């Protein structure tokens, strides 16, 4: 089986606009600590919603991973020549929708988040299961998760439900590029990973297929961290991987850079 890993770049899907707006009503503690700065908002279904302030304290949660390798890598979003990345000063919260998840798949997901954390220097925090579908038109702020940016959601679909999973594509992944609560600095948020339940059921029947299934999950999580596809077929971030199950030197360099972004204060 030839499996293709795909990505979805989220830039305001559906009714969501991720640009910054000035917020003119209501002054809270966050505003008082950012005097002179307008509070940014997003528009969700026609309603302006304040972008939640970071709960980090400006200190990395884990040491930065040094760039010990070099090779081809790319990023989905860039601002002023720098990649848009997750905030390393707060955990990458994630939830799992287990509906129709193939047997044996959940341990691979946990192993993949641990692996991505190791090579990026980001801290992943599993918050349990959710009934939210893994879709790319999700809102970045949702009542179900409280007054914060939505966690990464990982779930299952197929080519009938999600057109981009048709054919040999086994997974999709991406994040939204959004400004912080204040200022113009952009961060990644509200990531999504959608995995093809039929392809994974087939893969999990053999040990070699299981290894490739784990590689697909890691590839899609790397998209959530902002990595894009590369042309080098020896890298895991190649868009049509058929045999690579370990990170290549460019993948590892890209993950280290992805985890070395600025903190939101």
pLDDT confidence of residue 241: 83
CB-based contact 120:256 (threshold 8 Å): yes
Residue 87: exposure state from Cβ atoms within 10 A (0-12, 13-18, ≥19): buried
Nearest to 124 by CA among 142, 141, 134, 111: 111
CB-based contact 121:66 (threshold 8 Å): no
The domain ranges of the chain are: 4-13+55-258
pLDDT confidence of residue 198: 97
Tell me which residue has tokens 């590839």: 219
Residue-level pLDDT, tens digit, the chain, 265 residues: 444 445 444 433 322 324 433 333 444 545 556 656 788 998 888 899 999 988 888 899 999 999 999 999 999 999 999 999 999 999 999 999 999 999 999 999 999 999 999 999 999 999 999 999 999 999 999 999 999 999 999 999 999 999 999 998 999 999 999 999 999 999 999 999 999 999 999 999 999 999 999 999 999 999 999 999 999 999 999 998 878 999 999 999 999 999 999 999 7
Q: Can you give the pTM of this predicted structure?
A: 0.88
pLDDT confidence of residue 21: 35
pLDDT confidence of residue 39: 86
pLDDT confidence of residue 31: 52
Residue 86 DSSP code: -
Contacts of 217 (CB under 8 A, 6+ apart): 108, 109, 112, 171, 193, 195
- Residue 210, token pair as written in the block: 């299981």
pLDDT confidence of residue 242: 79
Q: Under DSSP, is residue 222 helix (H, G, I), strand (E, B) or coil?
A: helix
CB-based contact 50:20 (threshold 8 Å): no
How many contiguous H segments (helices) and E segments (strands) does the chain have?
5, 10
52-105: pLDDT as tens digits: 988 888 899 999 999 999 999 999 999 999 999 999 999 999 999 999 999 999
Q: Under DSSP, is residue 242 helix (H, G, I), strand (E, B) or coil?
A: coil
In angstroms, rounded to a whole number, what is the distance separating the alpha carbons of residues 199 and 92?
27
User: Per CATH, which fold does 4-13+55-258 belong to?
Assistant: Collagenase (Catalytic Domain) (3.40.390)
């Amino acid at each position: 089986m030839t499996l293709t890993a795909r990505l979805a770049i989220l830039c305001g899907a559906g009714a969501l606009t991720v640009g910054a707006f000035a917020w003119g009503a209501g002054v809270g503690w966050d505003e008082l600590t950012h005097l002179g700065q307008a509070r940014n908002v997003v528009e969700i279904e026609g309603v302006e919603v304040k972008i939640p302030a970071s709960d980090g304290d400006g200190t990395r949660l884990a040491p930065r991973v040094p760039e010990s390798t070099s090779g081809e890598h790319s990023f989905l979003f860039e601002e002023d020549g720098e990649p848009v990345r997750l905030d390393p000063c707060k955990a990458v919260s994630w939830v799992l929708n287990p509906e129709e998840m193939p047997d044996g798949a959940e341990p691979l997901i946990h192993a993949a988040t641990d692996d991505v954390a190791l090579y990026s220097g980001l801290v992943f925090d599993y918050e349990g299961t959710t009934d939210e579908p893994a879709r790319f038109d999700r809102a970045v702020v949702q009542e179900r998760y409280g007054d914060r940016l939505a966690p990464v959601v990982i779930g299952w679909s197929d080519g009938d439900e999600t057109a981009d999973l048709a054919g040999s594509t086994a997974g999709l992944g991406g994040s939204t590029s959004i400004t912080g609560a204040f200022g113009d600095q952009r961060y990644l948020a509200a990531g999504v990973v959608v995995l093809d339940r039929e392809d994974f059921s087939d893969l999990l029947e053999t040990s070699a297929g299981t290894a490739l299934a784990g590689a697909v999950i890691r590839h899609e999580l790397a998209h959530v961290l902002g990595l894009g596809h590369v042309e080098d077929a020896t890298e895991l971030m190649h868009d049509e991987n058929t045999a690579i199950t370990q990170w290549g030197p460019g993948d590892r360099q890209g993950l280290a850079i992805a985890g070395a972004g600025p903190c939101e204060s």
